[in-house]
Amino acid sequence: MSLRDLTHEAHKNAERQEFVKILFSGNINPKLYATFLKNQHPCYEILEVCAMMHGLLSDMPDVRRAPAILNDFIELWGSDNKETPIMCPTVQKYMDYIMSIKDDPKRLMAHIYVRHMGDLAGGQMIAKKVPGKGEMYKFNDPDGLKSAIRAKISDDMADEATVCFEFATQLFKEMLEISNDIK
């Protein structure tokens, strides 16, 4: 069984969330999407920084998403907007969790697999539906990047990858809760 097969249920559970339907609707409020990006940015930033400390990304220069997420956020939110986007509680929990595994490259790589392969796959469909340029979903060599990530994963990462899917699912739930407050 592959890592993909071993994490299938957790992946499907994340995809079934109502907020994901909003992302795919082609009609997401730009402010809501910007809020989602603002919540994603610290999750990617801490993960990528910790992964870089172990050299996990050194042969994948195009993998980093945090700078692109920040650029997408600024494009939609505006650099002069004084309003602070709502931050979901799961973001801090995820950051704390990543710090608790920062010395374990294999566990970090499981999170890179879930987040970045998601951006390379389903993210390509989301990119066509969300407002803005969608720099988060643009890669110079997507096939090469997929191969590089696959070369660094193994089936014994399934439990950790499932943890990442669970955090993503929780963020989608929290984003749905605040979606009615963002007009």
Instruction: Read off φ and ψ for residue 87, nearest 5 degrees.
Output: -105, 130
**Listed residue (5, 47, 36) closest to 176, CA to CA:** 36
- State the alpha helices, DSSP H only, in 16-104: 18-24, 30-53, 66-77, 89-100
3-state secondary structure of 56: coil
Per-residue model confidence (pLDDT) at position 64: 97
Cβ proximity of 24 and 129 under 8 Å: yes
The pLDDT-based confidence of 1 (bands split at 50, 70, 90) is confident
Per-residue model confidence (pLDDT) at position 61: 81
Per-residue model confidence (pLDDT) at position 180: 86
Tell me the C-alpha distance between 31 and 120, whole Å. Answer: 24
Which residue range forms the structural domain that includes residue 89?
Answer: 3-179
19 pLDDT higher than 80: yes
In the predicted model, what is the mean pLDDT of residues 37-45? 98
- State the alpha helices, DSSP H only, in 54-157: 66-77, 89-100, 105-120, 122-127, 142-150
56 pLDDT higher than 90: yes
Residue 119 belongs to a domain with what CATH number? 1.20.910.10
b/e per residue 61-91 (b: at least 16 CB within 10 A):
eebbbbebbbbbbebbbeeeeeeebeebebb
For residue range 84-139, list pLDDT tens digits in order.
Answer: 899 999 999 999 999 999 999 999 999 999 999 999 998 999 999 999 999 999 99
Domain count, the chain: 1
The pLDDT-based confidence of 158 (bands split at 50, 70, 90) is very high
Instruction: Report the predicted TM-score, pTM, of the whole model to 2 decimal places.
Output: 0.96
The pLDDT-based confidence of 183 (bands split at 50, 70, 90) is low
